[in-house]
Amino acid sequence: MLSLDQVSVTFNAGTPNEVRALRDISLLVEDGEFVTVIGSNGAGKSTLFNVISGAVQPDSGRITLDQEDITYQPEYRRSHDIGRVFQDPRLGTCPGLTIRENLSLAAIHGRNAGFRRDVKMAQETWFFEQLERQHLGLERRLDADVALLSGGQRQAITLVMATLTKPKLLLLDEHTAALDPNAAEQVIALTQELAEANDLCVVMITHSMQQACDLGDRVIMMNRGRIEFEIAGEERKNLQPADLIDRFHSLADGTELTDAQLLG
C-alpha cells in the first residue's frame, strides 16, 4: 500500500522562477490497485513519480510504502521495493549488455550485489519463461545486445525486469508514449497481464484517454500540482474517453494551455 500525506514540492523556492510542482498531495493506493494518472504538461505528474521514487525530495509531507516511511530514503534504497518503467525505452535497459545480463541485474533487485556469479545457470529457465510469455521471441535471443532491440522490445524487457522480483509498487511513466501503435498495444497487454499475475500496486501516467479508460480501477486527474478529481467505482466502469476529454477541457478554461490546444 502506497500512501502520500500532504506532500508538497517547490522548485526554485524564493526566486522569481518558483514553481509549486506539488501542492499538499494526498493519495492512497491499495495493494492490487491499478491507478492511472492524467493531466496536462506541467500538471505535476512526473514530479509525483519523482517524489515517490526518490529522485526529488519533498518540502513537506510524508510518503509511506507498506507502513514504512520512505520520505527521505535515498533513491536506490527505496528502489528495492519499487519497479519503474520510463517513457524513454533507452532508460530502462542497459545497452552493451545482453538481455540475459540485463535480466540478471534485475534479479538482484531488492537486495545487495555480492560476489556471486552474475549470470546464474539456475535462472536460465526462469528468464526463458518470463520472456516466452510475451510472445516476442526474445527468449531465443538471450545473448543479444539490448542495444540491437527495437523500442517496443526494450520496453517489454524493462517491464519484465521491473516486475521480475515482485516489487511492492510499479510506476509506469507514459511507458508507451514513444512506441508505435502496434508495439504500444503489445506493451499495454503485457502491463495488464503482469499487474494481474503479480497482484501489484500500479500507478501509471498516460496521455492517452483511451488507456486511462481501459486500464486500472481508478483515474486521477492532476492540474497545477493538485489532484483535481478522481473517478472510481461505478462511474469509472462506464467511463468513455470523450467524457474525460470534456472534463479535461472544463478544467483548462482560462489560464492553462491544454495539450489539445498546443497540438492545434
Partner 1 sequence: MTATAAATTQPQASGLSANRRFILRGILLALVVAGFMSVGNVNIGAIGQGLGYALAGVTVFMTFRVLGFVDLTVDGAFPIGGAACAILIVNGHSPEYAMLMGFVAGALTGMATALIDIIFKIEGLLASIIVITAAYTVTLHVMEGKSNIPLLGQETLISRHSKAFRTWLVEQFGDQMRRQSTNLLEIILFGFIVLIVLGILYWFLRTEIGLAIRATGKNPQMVRATGLNHNLMIVIGLMVANGLAGVAGSLVVQQFGFADVSLGFGLIVRGLAAVIIGEVLLRPRTVGQLLIAAVTGMLVFDISRAWIFSALDLPTTDIQFVSALVVLAALGTPRLYDRWKAYRLRHGG
Q: Does 142 bind partner 1 (CB under 8 A)?
A: yes
- Binding part of the chain for partner 1, among 56-64, 125-133, 177-185, 244-252 by CB under 8 A, reads 125-133
124 binds partner 1 (CB under 8 A): yes
Q: Considering beta carbons, is residue 68 or 132 the nearer one to partner 1?
A: 132
CA pair distance 125, 171, nearest whole angstrom: 27
Distance from C-alpha of 70 to C-alpha of 130, rounded to nearest angstrom: 30
| Angle at which helices 124-132 and 99-108 cross, to 10° | 110
In this complex, which beta carbon is closest to partner 1, that of residue 82 or of residue 219? Answer: 82
Which C-beta is closer to partner 1: that of 15 or that of 117?
A: 117
Residues touching partner 1, count (CB under 8 A): 48
Question: Residue 36 pairs with which residues in a beta bridge?
Answer: 204, 219
Q: CA of 233: how far to CAs of 66, 219, 245, in Å?
A: 23, 10, 19
68 binds partner 1 (CB under 8 A): no
- Give the Cα separation of 51 and 10 in Å (integer): 11
Residues in contact with partner 1, shown as a per-residue x/- string from 153 to 172 under the rule CB under 8 A: --------xx----------
Between CA 250 and CA 264 the distance in angstroms is 17
- Report the distance separating Cα 129 and Cα 239, nearest Å: 36
Q: Does 252 bind partner 1 (CB under 8 A)?
A: no
Least Cα distance to 36 among 241, 260, 246 occurs for: 241
Do the beta carbons of residue 21 and residue 44 sit within 8 Å?
yes
Q: How far is the CB of 261 from partner 1 (least distance, A)?
A: 32
Q: Which is nearer to partner 1, 49 or 248 (CB)?
A: 49
Assess 233 for contact with partner 1 (CB under 8 A).
no
Binding of partner 1 at residue 181 (CB under 8 A)?
no
- The x, y and z cell numbers of residue 168, run together, are 511492492
Of residues 75-114, those binding partner 1 (CB under 8 A): 75-77, 79-84, 86, 90-97, 101, 104-106, 108-114
d(CA 160, CA 154) in angstroms, rounded, equals 10
Is residue 119 near partner 1 by the rule CB under 8 A?
yes
- Residue 30 DSSP class: -
Contacting residues toward partner 1, per CB under 8 A: 53, 74-77, 79-84, 86, 90-97, 101, 104-106, 108-119, 124-125, 128, 132, 139-144, 161-162
